[in-house]
Structure 1
């Protein structure tokens, strides 16, 4: 049965929550008195539909159903998760939470997107709200800070992991939780640097994105400094740089006065820095960059990449009819070239992914490789029939043309969003002894499964284009 989430407040953060749940197969209801809420959420969803599936090498679940409601009770009916994302006013949150508590199911998780208020403040007049503080864009960034009653946070963690997020349960109540305390410290120092004429907004941003920002994305703060300590590690780093903490380098406890002059100075520099792009253009640039970095982190399982790998492993494998479906995914923006369609190199990448998936089907898996066995590709032949574009749903079916002895001969059909064959890749592989680095026979179990596929697929017609060579007519 499809689960339901209710989002109360449809701004930037609320819209991100809508997208995160909806694109992971949940039904989502929205309550927001703003007459522009449906349009605003629609624009967030357009970005999310373009971005989130591009992180994965599997297809996400079919989208749930999105509904908008004028009545809060109607919106909350049957909800397993309720997320409040109204403005940061405690009196407003108290009013909304009282209504949510009365109208929502007793077993629903009720989360607040608050960036600063503690559960004790949110529940001062009774209630069962936990802090579930996300980061923008909610549909891409995995972190959610959870603060509140232990059992509810544990239940919330399970739900959040199921939609690809990383729940971080804060051990103690504290103003601004964890991440925003760092951001506030950096923000204060940045304001002083601009006010004192040390740097412009653009120069400060360059200092972050050209240096430590990249390091933090994969290693965080303490691990970065551990590496900085060299072979002697963290103790050496702290002994060497600890005294610097006593030096007057920062103004973390002082806040520059927000005068009209300072606001105008920062706003003017910000306009000069990126005013040539619309907010929607900046959002898409941000999303494309995040996708590229997060996909790179998937390779090593570091940081957000590990969260993506864990969530991807939860996604069901596709099932085919006559032929196994070995790839079912969305084409990311980074796979397209100057012609606007998928670059030829990625046809090979997809076929390699299909081959890897098929190897799992015959038990030539990670354990098999660790035992010193594998298949190596010795020949590929690609035929292009139609264009594929970013955002297209791409599925691959795999037919075994031959599976005997040391050889595995596969024919991959790449199907575009309309189901038509956009390309084919014919692949020949040889079984290898990884220790001797020579060809060898597969184990009996793998050979038997490969033979079973080959015999089953032998009843099918020979694929059109199989056995061709470059330049062959017809």
Structure 2
């Protein structure tokens, strides 16, 4: 049964929540009085559709239905989960919660607040136990962290239910045990932000130089190891105790101004804004969002390959959806296994995607399918794998720089040792190439074909049977040079 999430407030954060729920199969109703809300959320959703599937190695569920409600009442009716993302004004949030709980009693309400404590949000509420903090990070549709902050008024089972919902949409619910202003991450960011403002105000560095210091250095370390693990490594073989002994005295030195705040006036605002315009003004906000998303995908895919940090969350989400797929989502439709974009290194002198990249696209598609059925890197490490024995590619159209491509896969036949597949590389509704392949299951140490493992066959054979109902592709079985018709 399709579930419904209500998003109250459709700004950058609310739009990201809407995209995260939609692309994970939930119906979503949005309420926002801004007349531009539908356009803004449409643009966020377009970015999410291009980005989130690139992190997945399992077919995405059917996208939910998006609707825009004229009132809060209309938005929350029938919702199983509600996320509030209105402006950071406590009295406004209280009015919103009161309206919600008049028509949706007993429904969980997560707040995207970056500063207020849950006990403040719950003041005078009809049902305070269902209101809690679920603070995400932008872009919500890509970054997994959600700080889940309860108060003593929240029943533990309600918070566990909320955390499970967040896990189901691919997020990492970080349960914060004690409520505190600004939670954990934003307190840390506030310290860095305050120090950065002083560096700009005092003429030490520009906004660009500060950003370069972060992204060329410690930001890369933080993205995969955080703070304490990074410093543990910095302590060498002696570990954290040595690091603390070596650098602990620095805490007493006047290195920072964390207890002092620069005067927030028009002069400081103009200084920061002017430098930021010089640094990034050549790009629109939407262009910067797409650049950010593409970079995040690259980082997170690398972490996923290593089962580390945010990549571990992606793997676990894939495993949950792979189990659901195995339990009943193997339909007769060709499986959507890969989402790609034609990059500058993919094109030849004609401006078209080069042949090697069609094979790469096919490999991305078939590799994702192999992971789906359990023939993943752990399986390969155990000494078994599928080897491609034959390939036949047909070029049917042209893909050019920037084109979005989708790889679909149809199982033509399968038994214990063989896997016969048909891949389509789609540009919208047009197939730009088809690739037919025969794969053999191999014991790599013995160097011979053997039966696949039972857990692989348990996933593969039901899909193969479901695909028998599909029309056989006209190009299946063609030989090179065969005339059409």
Fold shared by both chains (TM-score > 0.5): yes
Structure 2: distance between partners of 1:67 and 1:362: 35
Tell me, yes or no, if structure 1 residue 39 matches structure 2 residue 39.
yes
Tell me, yes or no, if structure 1 residue 308 matches structure 2 residue 296.
no
| 1:57 counterpart SS class | coil
- Aligned twin of 1:143: 145
- Aligned twin of 2:132: 130
Q: Is the CA contact 2:422–2:435 (under 8 Å) kept in the aligned structure 1?
A: yes
RMSD of Structure 2 on Structure 1 (CA) = 3.4
> Could you tell me how far 1:412 is from its partner in structure 2?
2.9
> Could you tell me how far 1:299 is from its partner in structure 2?
0.8
| Residues 262, 142 of structure 1: alpha-carbon distance in 2 compared, 3 angstrom cutoff | same
Structure 2: distance between partners of 1:151 and 1:233: 39
- Aligned twin of 1:442: 450
Structure 1: distance between partners of 2:473 and 2:122: 67
Question: Structure 1: any 5+ residue segments left out of the alignment?
Answer: none
Q: Is the CA contact 2:337–2:368 (under 8 Å) kept in the aligned structure 1?
A: no
Structure 1: distance between partners of 2:77 and 2:343: 41
Q: Is the CA contact 1:433–1:440 (under 8 Å) kept in the aligned structure 2?
A: yes
Q: Which has the higher mean CA deviation after the structures are superposed, 148-157 or 191-200?
A: 148-157
Structure 1: distance between partners of 2:101 and 2:32: 17
Match runs of 1:234-249 below 5 Å: 234-249=240-255
> Could you tell me how far 1:358 is from its partner in structure 2?
6.4
- Aligned twin of 2:362: 351
Structure 1: distance between partners of 2:337 and 2:280: 37
TM-score (norm 2): 0.84
Structure 1: distance between partners of 2:314 and 2:363: 20
Tell me, yes or no, if structure 1 residue 210 matches structure 2 residue 216.
yes
- Aligned twin of 1:12: 12
- Aligned twin of 1:384: 395
> Could you tell me how far 1:109 is from its partner in structure 2?
0.9
- Aligned twin of 1:88: 88
- Aligned twin of 1:373: 384
- Aligned twin of 1:329: 338
| Residues 31, 362 of structure 1: alpha-carbon distance in 2 compared, 3 angstrom cutoff | closer
Q: Is the CA contact 1:335–1:342 (under 8 Å) kept in the aligned structure 2?
A: no
Q: Which has the higher mean CA deviation after the structures are superposed, 301-310 or 248-257?
A: 301-310
Structure 1: distance between partners of 2:380 and 2:177: 41
| 1:382 counterpart SS class | strand
Tell me, yes or no, if structure 1 residue 423 matches structure 2 residue 433.
yes
| 2:315 counterpart SS class | helix
Q: Is the CA contact 2:392–2:437 (under 8 Å) kept in the aligned structure 1?
A: yes
| Residues 319, 335 of structure 1: alpha-carbon distance in 2 compared, 3 angstrom cutoff | farther
Q: Which has the higher mean CA deviation after the structures are superposed, 192-201 or 17-26?
A: 17-26
- Aligned twin of 1:170: 176
> Could you tell me how far 1:190 is from its partner in structure 2?
0.2
> Could you tell me how far 1:415 is from its partner in structure 2?
4.7
Give a deviation string over 1:235-283, Cα, whole Å, max 9, x none. Answer: 2222222222222111111111112222111111111101111111111
> Could you tell me how far 1:230 is from its partner in structure 2?
1.9
- Aligned twin of 1:159: 165
Give a deviation string over 1:4-53, Cα, whole Å, max 9, x none. Answer: 11111111111111111112111111222222222222222222222222
Give a deviation string over 1:192-217, Cα, whole Å, max 9, x none. Answer: 10011110000000000111111111
| Residues 58, 386 of structure 1: alpha-carbon distance in 2 compared, 3 angstrom cutoff | farther
- Aligned twin of 1:278: 284
Structure 2: distance between partners of 1:176 and 1:334: 40
Structure 1: distance between partners of 2:185 and 2:391: 48
Tell me, yes or no, if structure 1 residue 27 matches structure 2 residue 37.
no
| Residues 48, 419 of structure 1: alpha-carbon distance in 2 compared, 3 angstrom cutoff | closer
Q: Is the CA contact 2:403–2:427 (under 8 Å) kept in the aligned structure 1?
A: no
| 1:331 counterpart SS class | strand
Structure 2: distance between partners of 1:313 and 1:448: 17
- Aligned twin of 1:119: 118
Among candidates 183, 187, 198, match of residue 189 of structure 2: 183
Q: Which has the higher mean CA deviation after the structures are superposed, 61-70 or 166-175?
A: 61-70
Aligned residues: 463
- Aligned twin of 2:232: 226
Structure 2: distance between partners of 1:9 and 1:472: 58
Give a deviation string over 1:274-305, Cα, whole Å, max 9, x none. Answer: 11111111111111111221122211122221
Q: Which has the higher mean CA deviation after the structures are superposed, 350-359 or 22-31?
A: 350-359
| Residues 129, 320 of structure 1: alpha-carbon distance in 2 compared, 3 angstrom cutoff | closer
Q: Is the CA contact 1:22–1:63 (under 8 Å) kept in the aligned structure 2?
A: yes
| 1:82 counterpart SS class | strand
Question: Structure 2: any 5+ residue segments left out of the alignment?
Answer: none
> Could you tell me how far 1:130 is from its partner in structure 2?
0.2
> Could you tell me how far 1:131 is from its partner in structure 2?
0.5
Q: Is the CA contact 1:11–1:41 (under 8 Å) kept in the aligned structure 2?
A: yes
> Could you tell me how far 1:386 is from its partner in structure 2?
2.3
> Could you tell me how far 1:75 is from its partner in structure 2?
1.6
